[in-house]
A and B are shown apart, each in its own frame.
Chain A
Amino acid sequence: QKEVEQDPGPLSVPEGAIVSLNCTYSNSAFQYFMWYRQYSRKGPELLMYTYSSGNKEDGRFTAQVDKSSKYISLFIRDSQPSDSATYLCAMSQGGNYKLTFGKGTLLTVNP
C-alpha cells in the first residue's frame, strides 16, 4: 500500500461546478497536510496548508482533514477554466520533514 493514494483522474467539469478532490494515506504520523496546484511545466503552487484535523477555507477553496479516517479533501466552489491544472495533495510529519505527495489529479474546467 502506498503511503498516499490519490485518484489521478482525469476529472472534467463544467464552469461553475463544485469540484471535490481527495487523498487517503496510511501513515498516522502525518500531521501537516497541503494541497498544491501545478500548471503544466511549472513548479507546484501552495493552495492550502492545514495542521491536524479540521477545516480551512480560503476564498473558493476549502480543505478538510479527517485524521481518524486518514482522509483529506479539497473543495473548489464556482470552478473556473483557470482552475484547470493538476492538483497534488502532500503531507509531512512536521517541521522540516520531507513531503510525501499523491500522484496528482488532472482537472479540466470547461467554459
Chain B
Amino acid sequence: GAVVSQHPSWVICKSGTSVKIECRSLDFQATTMFWYRQFPKQSLMLMATSNEGSKATYEQGVEKDKFLINHASLTLSTLTVTSAHPEDSSFYICSARAGDRDGYTFGSGTRLTVV
C-alpha cells in the first residue's frame, strides 16, 4: 500500500528557533500533500495544501510566513516552523493521496515541543 514517511517523529527546540519537518511519499508520486495540526484530544485541523511546483494554499488563520511549506518534488514536501514559540507546540501530520488509490495516506506525525 501507499506509504508516507514523516521525519522527525519528535523534536524539542528552543523558543525563537526554526524547525523543519519532512514528508515523503515512498512508493508513489504526490502532486498534492496536506499538512495538519492536532492539539491534544482534538481533531486534525488542516493548515495548508501543498502543491508540487507552486505555492501552498493556506487555511484561514494560518500564518504563511510562520509555517513555510515547500513542495519541490513529487515525493517531498517540507513544513518549516519559523521562530517557534511554545504555543506552536503540537502534533503535526502530513498526508497525501496516492493517485488513483482510495483514501488519503497519513504520515506518522511529528510531535513538536517548543521550550
The range of chain B's interface size is 20 to 34
In the complex, which residues 60-111 of chain A have their Cβ closer than 8 Å to any Cβ of chain B? 88, 90, 96, 98-104
Contact A41 B91 (CB under 8 A): yes
In the complex, which residues 81-102 of chain B have their Cβ closer than 8 Å to any Cβ of chain A? 91, 93, 95, 97, 102
Contact with B along A29-66 (1 / 0, CB 8 A): 00000101000011111100100000000000000000
For the complex, give the distance between the alpha carbons of A98 and B36 in Å.
10
Contact B6 A104 (CB under 8 A): no
| A41 touches which of B41, B103, B106, B111 (Cβ 8 Å) | B111
Give me the interface of B with A, judged by CB distance under 8 Å.
4, 6, 31-32, 34, 41-44, 46, 49, 91, 93, 95, 97, 102-109, 111
Q: How many A-B residue pairs have CB under 8 A?
A: 52
Contact residues in A for B102 (Cβ distance below 8 Å): 46, 49
For the complex, give the distance between the alpha carbons of A24 and B5 in Å.
31
Contact residues in B for A44 (Cβ distance below 8 Å): 44, 93, 95, 106
Can you report 13 residue pairs joining A to B where beta carbons are below 8 Å apart?
A: A8-B41, A34-B104, A41-B91, A42-B108, A43-B6, A44-B44, A44-B106, A49-B103, A88-B44, A98-B34, A99-B104, A101-B44, A102-B43
